[in-house]
Amino acid sequence: MSLFDRFIKPLVDRPDLPHLAASAPTAVATAEPRRYRLDTLGQVCPFPLVEAKQAIAQIDSGDELVIDFDCTQATDSIPNWAASAGHEVTEFNATGDASWTITVKKA
């Protein structure tokens, strides 16, 4: 399964928003930002971070990327990368004993 097999659908279920596929997303003018989910559960570090970098490059500024992961090193590496790249971490929650979700708003 490739990165884009897991990163294809906006979190909001609206038919007027594009689904991100292996090709570049189609721009849609909306007043509100879009949220995309990236599932990296089961992947070892550094792959959650590598895929997050690739995924955020495919979305528009102001849109959010919600990353699900269970790699403990990513609890440091993803927020540090987001801050150093100028992106904003808007949410960061534990979703289980050893799994987390982090939302990064693209700068």
Q: Which is the catalytic residue, given 3, 41, 45, 89?
A: 45
- 35, 20 in Cβ contact below 8 A? no
45 a catalytic residue: yes
CA 90, CA 61: separation in Å to the nearest integer?
Answer: 14
Pick the closest to residue 81 from 59, 58, 102 (CA basis): 102
Instruction: Please give the positions annotated as active site.
Output: 45
